[in-house]
Structure formats: structure tokens, C-alpha cells
Chains A and B, each alone.
Chain A
Amino acid sequence: MKMKAIVVAFLILATATLGSFFRPDVRPGYGVTGIGWLSDYFTPLKGTNMDTPIYFMDSGNEGPTFLLMGGTHGREISGTTAALVFIENVVVTKGRVIVMPFSNISGVSIPDETGKAPHFIQVETKSGPRFLVYGDRRTDPVDQGIPDPVVFMHAQSGFTLEDGTEARNLNRQYPGVADGNPTQQLAYAIIEMIKAEKVDFNLDMHESGTPDEYIDERGNTRSGSSLAYTLVCHPDALEIGAVAIMEIEAFYGISMKLEESNLSYRGLSHLEIRNATGSLSFLSETPNPGQDSWRKVYDVINDPDYPLKHRVGLQLQIIQSLFNAYEMLMGETVLVTGLPSYDETMENGLFIYLN
């Protein structure tokens, strides 16, 4: 009995010391031509819970390079799942696509801090049961290794946020700091990778709360998330974004809001990646009922209004529409086969596209 207690205490201590080791379940399709690690571009990440796999899908034909990022925030699962669908189904026929499905793998390795959603959600795919991972918005505090500051300060600009936990939010750290804390180093490594691979344009896939109105504790009607159904673009990429969302509205009946990076709100991917690397940057937001703080119960997979297939289908459509708009305005683009459209995802279901 005493021995058992010692073993349990040791395991708890070890977990607390080492963080939650996590390697994602990714089942590449024929389009994947190479697999690497983010640490290939910044070696201090190697062997840590900040390192993450990168999938290369090279057509062998000259053309632009596109970077697709999911999992910046671990609970925003339309992004991670859309990245998986891309890796497992798509073949690139012109240009090159690099996919990083779990950008902050440390955040994915721990459950959502709200505690309302299970960490691992079982779904039925072509190969049978498989688990989607519903992680946290921020880096595991154990991996960060230092206490959160009282006030978060963006390293390069001095821009501050009152919530000190934002020090563990990857999407506040760009362009990152080589000798900074682990989350700053993660952002730095991503920038190094984008520079080294000469990425022409990129999409960072996110989720927000839903646009549904709700009644607060005082009985007042409150607006839902204004971020839902938004495509945020670097000012230099705004015209491409405008064309992309017009196409989505015209063909699929989904009206998205176009937003431009706020130049004074620092550290976000859509602003800083372009400024640091030249890569045209976009950030998408689909509505996740799991991110509505007012909901007591929710189903992040089968919600009747915002099912995962709707959210992932939209992310996939945004990718295709960005490819189309990029061609219209830049003269060439990435060409792919096997990328399900929004309508196909809605009609066939999502999980038929997971191996």
C-alpha cells in the first residue's frame, strides 16, 4: 500500500515536472512528400513539448508555397481537423503546401482550461474509431517553466495586455524571441521556418465563440462573438481576402466578415508574419459552441447549428478560395486535387475524409 502511494506520488511529480508528452495522430495520404520537425529550423525546440511535426506536400512543379497552420489554440479544433483532412486527402499538383496541424503542441497536450470538454473525443473514421484532441488555448504552464507575469508585454513593441496568461498564447508572441521563454521561442521557430521555406502566403486557422445572442446573469440580452465567420488579413493581403470571401458567399451562401490587422495590436500571426517574412498572412475564425462562456453544456462535434463538419468544411473552403483569389490577383497559385469543398463536406460528412 505504502509502495503504491509512493509510485502514484512519483507519477504525479514526474507529470508536473515534465509536462504532458503528446504526439499527434496524423495519417498522411499520398500527397505528403516529406515530414520534418519545427526544430529543424530552431534546434532548441528539439526534444521538448514545443517541437511539432511539419508535413510537406510538394508538387515538384514550380509555383507558390503556402503554409497552413492549425492548432495555434488547441481547443479550436476546426483548424486542427481541417489540417488533418488536408494532409490525409490532398495532392498538390502545382507549387507547394506546408502543413503544421498542431502549431502549439504543448497547448494541445493539456485539456481545455474550462474543463467542460473532454480532452480526447472519439469519432468514427474510415479506419474505425479515432480520437480528436480538444486542447487548451495556451502553452502548458509546465512546459513554459516560469510563472505567468502579472501583465503580458509583447517583446518587440512593449504592447501590453492585462491578462498575464497571454504570455503562453502563441498568437501574441510573433515574431518571437530566440532566447525568450518557450512560447516566444516557438513563435521564433515558426518565423524561421517561414523564412527558410520562402512561404508566399499562409493561413492560421482559428475558432471563436458563436454569433448567437444570449441572456446574461442579469437578464440582459448580449451579442454573441463578433469574431465568428471572420477572415482577418494583413493590410497587404486584404484584396485577396475580399475576393475569397465574395466567392464563398456567392457559391456557398456563407457571409464572412473581412477584417484588417490592427497595427497597434501586436504579436498576432496575421500582422507579424507578413512584417517579419514577407509572406501574405490570413487568419480565419469559425464558430465553436465550446468557446461560448455562457453555455453550460455543448457538443463541439454535433451541435445542431455549428457542427464540426460545417466549421471544418468552411476552413477547407477558405483554403480553396484563397488559392483562387491568390491566382486572380497574383497571377499564379497552388493547385490541388482531393480538397473537399464546403458542400462536399456537408453532404458526405467530415469523418469520411479522415483516414
Chain B
Amino acid sequence: MKKLLLTLFVVFCFVFVSFAVETLLEEPVIVTSAGQSPGALQFTVVAKMVNLDYKFDKLYKVEDVDMSQFKTFVIVVGASGKGLGAAGIDLEVEINRVLALANKAKENGLKIVICNLEGASRRGESSDRIVTTLAPFASVYFVKSDANEDGFFTTLSEKAGVPMATFEMTVGLKDVLAQYFGK
């Protein structure tokens, strides 16, 4: 088991990561889901690997969060019927919840990360709608490569003039976080 974990960490070091432009992000970080897929929780699993100082709730409401306490807002995008059902909300409510948070984050000067961590499995009408709705807020995109095979995220990042970091495997996000947060 220990050997397996050690090897896993070695694999992280060889994961391919590409950076269009490097933007240094700061801690502490606030993380939420946009679409209620488990990607946001996966983000926190990887965040622990680099000891990122973060707070996470997949259902943060704007009235419950003091954005001034944070420097970076990470929105992990992925629409999941099961997840939305589990939360007892629909897509419209979810988009409005995250939009309110993004507006508050912008007011407080936070950098905003839009992250696709689950790749092509979280591309589709609902997930894409969430991304395009949030795109005006993006300071940077973190994207699993197979979600960008059609250039969807490249187009958004180039149009807004913001950088995008891609990674081949979910665990490759570790290197992206290390780079962007200077860990």
C-alpha cells in the first residue's frame, strides 16, 4: 500500500501540465461546486495533497460566506442530475447560487478559478451552460484535457485573455495547484 501511494506521488510528478500564462493565486481559498457533480470534492482531495488552505462547501450560499476572508474562489464545474437531485435543487437555482457567489467574490477582489476536473464526462448542455454563464468572472481556467478536445475552454480563455492550465489526469491537478499557488 505505501509503495502504491509512493508510486502514485511519483506519477504526479510526470503528469503533463501545460500553461498558457502563469497567474499566481493566493490562499486562503474558497471552493464550491457549480452543478453538484463530485468534482468539487475531488478538487479538495487533490488540494490536501499540496496542503492548500481552503474551505469547501458544495452548497455555499452568498449570505453565509464572508468573501473578504479569502483571496481565491474556485468554482468546480460539472452538472450532475444525481447531485442536483441529492441537493434538492434544479439547474436554475444552482446557476443563480454560484452567480451570486461569483459577484460577491469579484466585489471583494478575489481571483476566480473555473475548474473542470472530471473531463469529457462533464461536458454537455448543462455543464457548458454553467461555464459560459460564469466565464465573465474567470481569472484562470483549470481544465482536464479531454474536456477541451473541441477547444471549448481554449476559446473562452483566449476571448477573455485569461490563462488556462490543462492536465491529463485528475491527479495532475496537483502540479497545477502547486504551480499557481507557489506550493
Contacts and interface: CB of A to CB of B under 8 A. Distances in A.
Nearest to B46: A246
Nearest to A264: B85
A251 B12 CA distance: 11
Chain A interface size, as a band, is: 20 to 34
Contacts of A226: 121
A33 interface: no
A242 B88 CA distance: 22
A183 B38 CA distance: 32
B2 to A, nearest CB: 10
Contacts of B5: 324, 328
B4 interface: yes
Q: Is the interface of B mostly helix, strand, loop or mixed?
A: helix
14 contacts: A239-B41, A246-B46, A246-B170, A247-B8, A249-B169, A251-B11, A255-B146, A255-B169, A255-B170, A258-B38, A259-B37, A259-B38, A261-B86, A263-B88
B11 A250 contact: yes
A348 interface: no
A174 B37 CA distance: 24
A292 interface: no
Interface string A153-197: 000000000000000000000000000000000000000000000
Interface of A: 226, 232-233, 235, 238-239, 241-243, 245-247, 249-251, 255, 257-265, 324, 327-328, 333, 335
A333 B4 CA distance: 14
Contacts of A262: 81-83, 85-86
Given A242-B41, A327-B1, A260 B80 contact: yes
A333 B1 CA distance: 10
B91 interface: no
Contacts of A333: 1
Interface in B1-17: 1, 4-5, 7-8, 11-12
A258 B118 contact: yes
A262 B39 CA distance: 15
B75 interface: no
Contacts of B119: 255
Contacts of A239: 41, 45
A198 B40 CA distance: 31
A233 to B, nearest CB: 8
